[in-house]
């Protein structure tokens, strides 16, 4: 007799039916039902394998604003010619430390590290006409919504992992603040500390001139009294604001602020990183050492060609200067992390809003292309292959191993041991953490 049969017989008895229940049959049927439930649960577990988890502890994310062209950097093709309008790469290519993987001639330092790098050559999305919308897609992993402000990758990682050590923020932005980089519905507690000049550090943490430590302490004591007297059932916004104030006091101490003093590093090391962009990369390494979980370094504040990576028309003429600056800084960063035994614990990520097509425009530059472009992963304990994914002879179409933006984000989350299958919550609304992305499994094999 089944468990449901027993329930039916119970109903019949309550109605006056003189049916007798066999106790042994009930126990047997109950056991069978329990076994069936267990088998069903096991089958569900088999259908939902355990999420992939890597060993990285920190992320240094390099943002190349404007749109880095893969053909001219990490996915070189046949040489083109802007004068004759022959489509193809702008530069020659060179061998790397991985057989069969080539990069632009202006990336010689990166070429020596490609065994610790994977250029993901088949990233794609559907936003090509508007830089801000594409930048939002590459920071949040989603299209812009009229009803939800999605959190950035850095804020999600801050929310899920927090800072690696006490007394430091989980997320630092070296560049101008922007809602695209922000916490969205997660709230201010998962926002960022930012600075725009490595020679000064975060302006918001500096004590105003004329305010001595004793006076600052008195202000903090009065602030605490006011907070203690306010209603406990304060709004989330007020709670986040209070926490932000408490955090700012904690981070303004000499222990954390000393991380911004690059003069504490040997002069030869500072010089190896190059100019302001390189100093930002050096600072990022110092911040992760102090326990910051996620650092974004913007490269679009120090343009050498007047256009940055958005190389329409004449902007392409000095593109090689940008590529060389990138190569100098990243080559030094990889060597520095390796020397300090931090490369396997630090994932280096290079992203941009979209790529560039192989054809040249009327001014000799390039337009926008989102059907296939390159983003880069390095270090982080991943099993690197030099390159992943294949595009056609001109880099316009994906031939094999396409990687969506959610897939790329899921790979980053997995490297940090974050469950990329879970939901975040916008109040009571579930939001998949990576919009159903799946990691590049080959990097974890």
Residue 188's Cβ-side half-sphere holds a number of Cα atoms within 13 Å equal to 14
- The predicted pLDDT at position 129 comes to 81
What's the Cα-to-Cα distance from 270 to each of 195, 329, 412, 414, rounded to whole Å? Answer: 19, 10, 28, 32
Q: Which range has the worst mean pLDDT, 113-127, 216-230, 411-425? A: 216-230
Instruction: Read off the pLDDT band of 228 (50, 70, 90).
Output: low
Minimal CA–CA distance to 332: which of 73, 101, 58, 62? 62
Q: Under the phi-then-psi rule, with left for phi > 0, alpha for psi from -120 to 50, and beta for the rest, what region is 380?
A: left
pTM of structure: 0.84
Which strand (E) or helix (H) includes residue 409?
helix 405-415
Mean pLDDT of 387-400: 98
Q: pLDDT of 336-385, one tens digit each?
A: 999 999 999 999 999 999 999 999 999 999 999 999 999 999 999 999 99
In this structure, what DSSP letter does residue 426 have? E
What three-state secondary structure class fits 277?
A: helix
Six token digits for residue 211:
């305010």
The torsion angle over the Cα atoms of residues 124, 129, 135 and 136, rounded to 10 degrees, is -90
pLDDT exceeds 50 at position 11: no
Instruction: Read off the pLDDT band of 20 (50, 70, 90).
Output: very low
Beta-bridge mates of residue 93: 104
What three-state secondary structure class fits 123?
A: strand
Contact 379, 285 (CB under 8 A): no
Q: Which range has the worst mean pLDDT, 64-73, 246-255, 286-295, 333-342? A: 246-255
- The predicted pLDDT at position 199 comes to 87
The length of the chain is 445
- Which stretches does DSSP call E strand in 97-221? 102-104, 117-124, 171-174, 193-195
pLDDT exceeds 90 at position 249: no
What three-state secondary structure class fits 288?
A: helix
Q: pLDDT of 50-102, one tens digit each?
A: 999 999 999 999 999 999 999 999 999 999 999 999 999 999 999 999 999 99
pLDDT exceeds 50 at position 13: no
What's the Cα-to-Cα distance from 88 to each of 92, 137, 395, rounded to whole Å? Answer: 10, 27, 9
- Which stretches does DSSP call E strand in 55-134? 58-63, 93-95, 102-104, 117-124
Which strand (E) or helix (H) includes residue 347?
strand 346-351
Contact 376, 119 (CB under 8 A): yes
Provide φ and ψ at 368, rounded to 5°: -110, 150
> Average per-residue pLDDT in the chain?
86
Taking the C-alpha atoms of residue 257 and residue 305, their distance in angstroms, rounded to an integer, is 33
What is the per-residue DSSP string for 364-404? S----B-SSEEEEEEETT----EEE-EE-TTSSSEEE--EE
Burial per residue of 408-441, b for 16 or more beta-carbon CB atoms within 10 angstroms, e otherwise: bbbbbbbbbebebbeebebeeeebebbbebbbbe
Mean pLDDT of 306-325: 94
- The predicted pLDDT at position 170 comes to 97
Q: pLDDT of 117-157, one tens digit each?
A: 999 999 999 998 899 999 999 999 999 998 999 999 999 99
Contact 404, 370 (CB under 8 A): no
């Amino acid at each position: 007799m089944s468990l449901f049969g027993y329930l039916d017989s119970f109903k019949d008895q309550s109605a006056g039916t003189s049916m007798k229940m066999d106790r042994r049959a009930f126990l047997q049927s109950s056991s069978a039902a329990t076994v069936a439930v267990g088998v069903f649960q096991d089958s569900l577990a088999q259908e939902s394998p355990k999420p992939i988890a890597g060993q990285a502890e920190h992320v240094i994310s390099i943002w190349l604003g404007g749109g880095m062209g893969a053909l001219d950097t990490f996915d070189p093709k046949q040489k083109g010619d802007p004068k004759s309008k022959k489509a193809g790469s702008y530069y020659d290519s060179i061998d790397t430390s991985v057989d069969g993987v080539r990069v632009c001639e202006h990336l010689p330092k990166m070429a020596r590290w490609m065994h610790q790098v994977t250029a993901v050559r088949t990233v794609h999305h559907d936003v090509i006409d508007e830089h801000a919308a594409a930048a939002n897609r590459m920071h949040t992993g989603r299209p812009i919504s009229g009803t939800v402000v999605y959190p950035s990758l850095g804020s999600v990682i801050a929310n899920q992992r927090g800072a690696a050590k006490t007394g430091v923020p989980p997320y630092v932005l070296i560049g101008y603040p922007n809602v695209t980089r922000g916490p969205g519905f997660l709230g201010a507690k998962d926002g960022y500390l930012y600075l725009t000049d490595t020679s000064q550090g975060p302006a918001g943490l500096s004590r105003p001139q004329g305010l001595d430590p004793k006076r600052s302490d008195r202000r903090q004591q009065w602030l605490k009294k006011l907070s203690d007297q306010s209603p406990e059932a304060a709004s989330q916004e007020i709670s986040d604001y209070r926490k932000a104030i408490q955090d700012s006091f904690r981070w303004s101490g000499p222990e954390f602020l000393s991380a911004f003093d690059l003069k504490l590093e040997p002069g030869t090391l500072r010089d190896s990183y190059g100019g302001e962009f390189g100093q930002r990369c050096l600072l990022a390494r110092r911040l992760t050492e102090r326990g910051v979980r996620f650092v974004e370094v913007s490269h679009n504040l120090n343009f050498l060609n007047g256009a940055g990576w958005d190389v329409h028309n004449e902007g392409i003429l000095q593109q090689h200067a940008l590529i060389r600056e990138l190569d100098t800084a990243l080559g030094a960063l990889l060597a520095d992390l390796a020397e300090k035994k931090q490369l396997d614990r630090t994932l280096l990520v290079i992203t941009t809003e979209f790529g560039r097509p192989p054809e040249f425009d009327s001014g000799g530059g390039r337009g926008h292309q989102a059907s296939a472009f390159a983003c880069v992963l390095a270090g982080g304990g991943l099993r690197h292959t030099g390159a992943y994914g294949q595009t056609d002879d001109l880099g316009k179409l994906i031939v094999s191993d396409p990687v969506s933006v959610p897939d790329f984000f899921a790979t980053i989350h997995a490297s940090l041991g974050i469950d990329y299958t879970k939901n975040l919550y916008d109040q009571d609304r579930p939001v998949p953490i990576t919009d159903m992305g799946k990691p590049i499994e080959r990097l974890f094999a």
